Structure 1
Protein backbone atom coordinates (compact mmCIF):
# COMPACT_ATOMS: atom_id res chain seq x y z
CA UNK A 1 0.00 0.00 0.00
CA UNK A 2 1.35 3.42 -0.95
CA UNK A 3 1.85 6.01 1.76
CA UNK A 4 -0.71 8.78 1.54
CA UNK A 5 1.40 11.19 3.63
CA UNK A 6 2.57 13.28 0.63
CA UNK A 7 -0.96 13.75 -0.63
CA UNK A 8 -2.29 14.52 2.85
CA UNK A 9 0.45 17.10 3.36
CA UNK A 10 -0.35 18.66 0.00
CA UNK A 11 -4.03 18.92 0.89
CA UNK A 12 -3.20 20.26 4.33
CA UNK A 13 -0.91 22.90 2.82
CA UNK A 14 -3.51 24.07 0.33
CA UNK A 15 -6.46 24.02 2.71
CA UNK A 16 -5.06 25.10 6.07
CA UNK A 17 -2.35 27.49 4.95
CA UNK A 18 -3.93 28.94 1.84
CA UNK A 19 -4.71 32.63 1.99
CA UNK A 20 -3.22 35.90 0.93
CA UNK A 21 -0.46 38.01 2.37
CA UNK A 22 -2.88 40.94 2.53
CA UNK A 23 -5.31 39.00 4.71
CA UNK A 24 -2.56 37.90 7.07
CA UNK A 25 -0.95 41.35 7.26
CA UNK A 26 -4.29 42.99 7.93
CA UNK A 27 -5.05 40.50 10.68
CA UNK A 28 -8.04 39.31 8.71
CA UNK A 29 -9.23 35.75 8.49
CA UNK A 30 -7.42 33.23 6.32
CA UNK A 31 -9.15 32.63 3.01
CA UNK A 32 -10.37 29.12 2.27
CA UNK A 33 -9.02 27.68 -0.97
CA UNK A 34 -9.89 24.19 -2.18
CA UNK A 35 -8.38 23.37 -5.58
CA UNK A 36 -6.79 20.65 -7.62
CA UNK A 37 -3.42 21.40 -9.29
CA UNK A 38 -5.27 21.79 -12.59
CA UNK A 39 -7.53 24.47 -11.11
CA UNK A 40 -4.68 26.61 -9.80
CA UNK A 41 -3.77 29.58 -11.98
CA UNK A 42 -0.18 30.67 -11.47
CA UNK A 43 0.45 33.51 -13.91
CA UNK A 44 2.55 36.02 -11.97
CA UNK A 45 6.21 36.16 -12.94
CA UNK A 46 8.47 34.59 -10.33
CA UNK A 47 11.05 37.31 -10.94
CA UNK A 48 9.77 39.30 -7.95
CA UNK A 49 9.08 36.37 -5.62
CA UNK A 50 11.68 36.08 -2.86
CA UNK A 51 13.00 32.61 -2.12
CA UNK A 52 12.73 31.07 -5.59
CA UNK A 53 15.44 30.56 -8.19
CA UNK A 54 14.37 33.37 -10.57
CA UNK A 55 15.09 31.12 -13.58
CA UNK A 56 13.21 32.21 -16.70
CA UNK A 57 10.11 30.15 -17.39
CA UNK A 58 8.82 30.24 -13.83
CA UNK A 59 5.68 31.77 -12.43
CA UNK A 60 4.81 31.98 -8.76
CA UNK A 61 2.04 32.90 -6.40
CA UNK A 62 2.35 33.52 -2.68
CA UNK A 63 -0.58 31.68 -1.10
CA UNK A 64 0.11 32.58 2.49
CA UNK A 65 2.41 34.87 4.42
CA UNK A 66 5.30 36.89 3.07
CA UNK A 67 8.63 35.14 2.33
CA UNK A 68 10.47 38.45 2.95
CA UNK A 69 9.31 38.65 6.58
CA UNK A 70 9.55 36.42 9.66
CA UNK A 71 6.71 33.92 9.68
CA UNK A 72 5.15 31.00 7.90
CA UNK A 73 4.68 31.25 4.13
CA UNK A 74 3.60 29.04 1.23
CA UNK A 75 4.52 29.73 -2.40
CA UNK A 76 3.23 27.89 -5.45
CA UNK A 77 5.90 27.66 -8.15
CA UNK A 78 5.17 26.65 -11.75
CA UNK A 79 8.13 25.61 -13.89
CA UNK A 80 7.96 25.17 -17.64
CA UNK A 81 9.45 22.05 -19.29
CA UNK A 82 13.22 21.79 -19.75
CA UNK A 83 14.22 24.23 -17.01
CA UNK A 84 17.41 23.73 -15.00
CA UNK A 85 18.06 25.31 -11.61
CA UNK A 86 21.75 25.47 -10.77
CA UNK A 87 22.96 24.88 -7.17
CA UNK A 88 21.53 27.41 -4.73
CA UNK A 89 20.46 27.66 -1.12
CA UNK A 90 18.03 29.57 1.06
CA UNK A 91 18.55 30.94 4.60
CA UNK A 92 15.38 29.20 5.84
CA UNK A 93 14.43 25.53 6.00
CA UNK A 94 11.61 24.56 3.64
CA UNK A 95 9.33 21.68 2.77
CA UNK A 96 8.49 21.10 -0.91
CA UNK A 97 5.60 19.06 -2.34
CA UNK A 98 5.33 18.22 -6.04
CA UNK A 99 1.69 18.86 -6.96
CA UNK A 100 1.80 18.03 -10.67
CA UNK A 101 4.37 16.98 -13.22
CA UNK A 102 7.75 15.55 -12.26
CA UNK A 103 10.59 17.43 -10.58
CA UNK A 104 14.18 16.22 -10.37
CA UNK A 105 16.16 17.43 -7.34
CA UNK A 106 19.66 16.82 -6.05
CA UNK A 107 21.93 18.22 -3.35
CA UNK A 108 25.49 19.51 -3.53
CA UNK A 109 27.61 22.50 -4.47
CA UNK A 110 27.82 21.60 -8.18
CA UNK A 111 25.20 20.37 -10.62
CA UNK A 112 25.46 16.61 -11.05
CA UNK A 113 22.82 14.80 -13.13
CA UNK A 114 23.71 11.49 -11.42
CA UNK A 115 22.52 12.94 -8.08
CA UNK A 116 19.05 13.90 -9.33
CA UNK A 117 16.10 12.20 -7.63
CA UNK A 118 12.91 11.82 -9.69
CA UNK A 119 9.86 13.07 -7.80
CA UNK A 120 6.45 12.62 -9.47
CA UNK A 121 3.27 14.30 -8.24
CA UNK A 122 2.90 13.56 -4.53
CA UNK A 123 6.68 13.49 -4.02
CA UNK A 124 8.21 15.55 -1.23
CA UNK A 125 11.63 16.79 -0.21
CA UNK A 126 13.11 19.16 2.33
CA UNK A 127 15.54 21.99 1.79
CA UNK A 128 17.48 22.48 5.04
CA UNK A 129 18.64 26.06 5.62
CA UNK A 130 21.79 26.88 3.63
CA UNK A 131 21.91 23.43 1.93
CA UNK A 132 22.83 23.79 -1.74
CA UNK A 133 20.43 21.98 -4.04
CA UNK A 134 19.67 21.93 -7.75
CA UNK A 135 16.88 20.70 -9.94
CA UNK A 136 15.25 20.48 -13.30
CA UNK A 137 12.12 19.71 -15.21
CA UNK A 138 12.11 17.57 -18.32
CA UNK A 139 9.28 17.07 -20.81
CA UNK A 140 6.37 18.40 -18.76
CA UNK A 141 5.52 21.49 -16.73
CA UNK A 142 5.77 21.06 -12.97
CA UNK A 143 3.92 22.67 -10.07
CA UNK A 144 5.40 22.63 -6.55
CA UNK A 145 4.30 24.07 -3.21
CA UNK A 146 7.09 25.48 -1.05
CA UNK A 147 6.41 26.08 2.65
CA UNK A 148 8.94 27.70 4.95
CA UNK A 149 9.40 30.08 7.82
CA UNK A 150 10.85 33.38 6.57
CA UNK A 151 12.56 35.51 5.93
CA UNK A 152 13.73 33.68 2.85
CA UNK A 153 16.14 34.48 0.06
CA UNK A 154 18.25 32.79 -2.59
CA UNK A 155 22.04 32.48 -2.88
CA UNK A 156 23.66 30.66 -5.79
CA UNK A 157 26.66 28.44 -5.01
CA UNK A 158 28.32 30.01 -8.06
CA UNK A 159 27.15 33.64 -8.36
CA UNK A 160 27.71 33.47 -12.14
CA UNK A 161 24.84 30.94 -12.33
CA UNK A 162 22.31 33.40 -10.95
CA UNK A 163 19.80 34.60 -13.58
CA UNK A 164 20.82 38.02 -14.77
CA UNK A 165 24.42 37.60 -13.55
CA UNK A 166 26.91 39.51 -15.62
CA UNK A 167 29.84 37.37 -16.74
CA UNK A 168 33.07 38.78 -18.09
Structure 2
Protein backbone atom coordinates (compact mmCIF):
# COMPACT_ATOMS: atom_id res chain seq x y z
CA UNK A 1 0.00 0.00 0.00
CA UNK A 2 1.46 3.41 -0.93
CA UNK A 3 2.52 5.74 1.84
CA UNK A 4 1.27 9.34 1.68
CA UNK A 5 3.93 11.85 0.75
CA UNK A 6 3.12 14.45 3.37
CA UNK A 7 0.28 13.39 5.61
CA UNK A 8 2.06 11.57 8.41
CA UNK A 9 0.10 13.44 11.11
CA UNK A 10 -2.57 16.10 11.53
CA UNK A 11 0.14 18.56 12.58
CA UNK A 12 2.12 17.88 9.41
CA UNK A 13 -0.99 18.40 7.31
CA UNK A 14 -1.74 21.71 9.02
CA UNK A 15 1.86 22.87 8.54
CA UNK A 16 1.75 22.01 4.85
CA UNK A 17 -1.50 23.87 4.30
CA UNK A 18 0.04 26.93 5.96
CA UNK A 19 3.26 26.62 3.93
CA UNK A 20 4.55 29.89 2.44
CA UNK A 21 3.45 30.17 -1.18
CA UNK A 22 0.78 27.47 -0.93
CA UNK A 23 -2.33 28.42 -2.86
CA UNK A 24 -5.87 27.12 -2.58
CA UNK A 25 -7.24 25.46 -5.70
CA UNK A 26 -10.19 27.83 -5.81
CA UNK A 27 -7.93 30.90 -6.28
CA UNK A 28 -8.42 32.54 -9.66
CA UNK A 29 -4.73 32.96 -10.36
CA UNK A 30 -1.33 32.65 -8.73
CA UNK A 31 1.70 34.85 -9.35
CA UNK A 32 4.88 34.17 -7.39
CA UNK A 33 8.20 35.86 -8.12
CA UNK A 34 11.14 33.47 -7.86
CA UNK A 35 12.39 35.07 -4.64
CA UNK A 36 8.98 35.26 -2.96
CA UNK A 37 8.52 31.68 -1.82
CA UNK A 38 10.45 29.89 0.90
CA UNK A 39 11.75 26.35 0.96
CA UNK A 40 11.02 24.23 4.02
CA UNK A 41 12.83 21.06 5.17
CA UNK A 42 11.29 17.91 3.77
CA UNK A 43 9.04 16.42 2.68
CA UNK A 44 9.22 13.50 5.10
CA UNK A 45 9.11 11.00 2.24
CA UNK A 46 12.62 12.05 1.17
CA UNK A 47 15.91 11.74 3.03
CA UNK A 48 17.09 14.64 5.20
CA UNK A 49 18.64 17.46 3.20
CA UNK A 50 15.79 17.89 0.73
CA UNK A 51 13.73 21.06 0.82
CA UNK A 52 10.38 21.85 -0.79
CA UNK A 53 8.09 24.75 -1.61
CA UNK A 54 4.45 24.39 -2.60
CA UNK A 55 3.62 26.77 -5.44
CA UNK A 56 0.03 25.76 -6.06
CA UNK A 57 -2.54 23.36 -4.64
CA UNK A 58 -1.93 20.70 -2.01
CA UNK A 59 -0.13 17.41 -2.79
CA UNK A 60 -2.04 15.59 -0.03
CA UNK A 61 -5.48 16.43 -1.44
CA UNK A 62 -7.41 15.73 -4.64
CA UNK A 63 -6.52 18.11 -7.45
CA UNK A 64 -3.57 19.59 -9.29
CA UNK A 65 -0.48 20.92 -7.54
CA UNK A 66 2.93 22.40 -8.34
CA UNK A 67 5.89 21.93 -6.00
CA UNK A 68 9.61 22.64 -6.17
CA UNK A 69 12.24 20.42 -4.60
CA UNK A 70 15.72 21.74 -3.79
CA UNK A 71 18.23 18.93 -3.39
CA UNK A 72 21.86 19.17 -2.25
CA UNK A 73 24.75 17.86 -4.33
CA UNK A 74 24.83 14.06 -4.27
CA UNK A 75 21.25 13.68 -3.04
CA UNK A 76 19.78 10.31 -3.99
CA UNK A 77 16.17 9.18 -4.29
CA UNK A 78 16.04 5.38 -4.13
CA UNK A 79 13.96 3.33 -6.60
CA UNK A 80 10.27 4.06 -6.17
CA UNK A 81 6.91 4.48 -7.89
CA UNK A 82 4.07 7.00 -7.70
CA UNK A 83 0.32 6.50 -7.81
CA UNK A 84 -0.13 9.55 -10.07
CA UNK A 85 1.72 10.78 -13.17
CA UNK A 86 5.02 12.51 -12.40
CA UNK A 87 5.72 15.57 -14.55
CA UNK A 88 9.06 17.24 -13.78
CA UNK A 89 11.08 20.16 -15.16
CA UNK A 90 14.69 20.71 -14.06
CA UNK A 91 15.06 24.34 -12.93
CA UNK A 92 18.76 24.29 -12.02
CA UNK A 93 21.57 21.82 -11.47
CA UNK A 94 21.67 18.37 -13.03
CA UNK A 95 19.07 15.71 -12.24
CA UNK A 96 20.11 12.15 -13.12
CA UNK A 97 16.99 10.05 -13.68
CA UNK A 98 17.05 6.30 -14.24
CA UNK A 99 14.62 3.42 -14.60
CA UNK A 100 14.45 0.15 -12.73
CA UNK A 101 14.90 -1.34 -9.29
CA UNK A 102 18.71 -1.00 -9.25
CA UNK A 103 19.81 2.60 -8.74
CA UNK A 104 22.88 2.62 -10.99
CA UNK A 105 23.83 6.23 -11.78
CA UNK A 106 25.80 4.98 -14.81
CA UNK A 107 22.50 3.96 -16.47
CA UNK A 108 20.71 7.22 -15.63
CA UNK A 109 20.08 10.11 -18.01
CA UNK A 110 21.50 13.48 -16.93
CA UNK A 111 18.96 16.26 -17.37
CA UNK A 112 20.26 19.82 -17.03
CA UNK A 113 18.30 23.05 -16.47
CA UNK A 114 15.33 23.07 -18.82
CA UNK A 115 15.25 19.26 -19.06
CA UNK A 116 11.89 17.56 -18.68
CA UNK A 117 10.41 14.13 -18.02
CA UNK A 118 6.94 12.68 -17.52
CA UNK A 119 6.33 9.20 -16.14
CA UNK A 120 3.06 7.29 -15.87
CA UNK A 121 1.87 5.94 -12.51
CA UNK A 122 3.70 2.79 -11.42
CA UNK A 123 6.94 3.32 -13.38
CA UNK A 124 9.93 2.32 -11.22
CA UNK A 125 12.63 4.99 -11.25
CA UNK A 126 15.38 6.63 -9.15
CA UNK A 127 17.26 9.92 -9.17
CA UNK A 128 20.54 11.61 -8.20
CA UNK A 129 21.29 15.34 -7.91
CA UNK A 130 24.58 16.67 -9.28
CA UNK A 131 25.30 20.05 -7.74
CA UNK A 132 22.51 21.78 -5.87
CA UNK A 133 19.49 20.88 -8.00
CA UNK A 134 16.00 22.35 -8.16
CA UNK A 135 13.18 20.51 -9.91
CA UNK A 136 9.54 21.44 -10.31
CA UNK A 137 7.00 18.65 -9.93
CA UNK A 138 3.50 19.07 -11.32
CA UNK A 139 0.86 16.41 -10.83
CA UNK A 140 -2.40 15.58 -9.13
CA UNK A 141 -3.01 14.59 -5.55
CA UNK A 142 -3.20 12.84 -3.40
CA UNK A 143 0.48 12.36 -4.17
CA UNK A 144 2.13 9.14 -3.05
CA UNK A 145 5.59 7.64 -3.22
CA UNK A 146 6.20 3.94 -2.66
CA UNK A 147 9.81 2.78 -2.32
CA UNK A 148 10.67 -0.59 -3.82
CA UNK A 149 12.56 -1.55 -0.64
CA UNK A 150 11.11 -0.59 2.76
CA UNK A 151 14.61 0.15 4.10
CA UNK A 152 14.85 3.05 1.62
CA UNK A 153 11.73 4.75 2.98
CA UNK A 154 12.70 7.42 5.57
CA UNK A 155 9.13 7.39 6.97
CA UNK A 156 9.66 3.82 8.19
CA UNK A 157 12.77 4.56 10.25
TM-score when scaled to structure 1? 0.74
The residue that corresponds to 1:117 in the other structure is 109
1:20 aligns with 2:29: no
Tell me: CA distance 1:125–1:92, structure 2 relative to 1, closer, same or farther (3 Å).
same
CA distance in 2, matches of 1:40, 1:104: 28
Name the one with the larger helix percent.
Answer: 1
Unaligned segments of structure 1, at least 5 residues: 1-18
Question: Which residue in the other structure is 1:29 paired with?
Answer: 28
Q: State whether residues 74 and 145 of structure 1, in contact with CA within 8 Å, keep that contact through their aligned partners in structure 2.
A: yes
Bigger strand fraction: 2
Q: CA deviation at 1:112?
A: 1.8
Q: Does 1:63 align with 2:59?
A: no
The match for 1:103 among 95, 99, 116 is 95
Show structure 1 runs of 4+ deviating over 6 A. Answer: none
How far the C-alpha of 1:47 sits from its partner, in A, is: 2.8
- Matched residues in 1 for 2:120 and 2:138: separation? 12
CA RMSD of aligned residues (A): 1.8
1:152 is displaced (CA, Å) by: 0.9
Deviations 1:51-74 (A, max 9, x none): xx4121100011111111111111
Q: Which structure would you say has the larger Rg?
A: 1
The 1:164–1:153 alpha-carbon spacing in structure 2 relative to 1, beyond 3 Å, is: closer
Q: How many residues align?
A: 137
1:44 maps to: 40
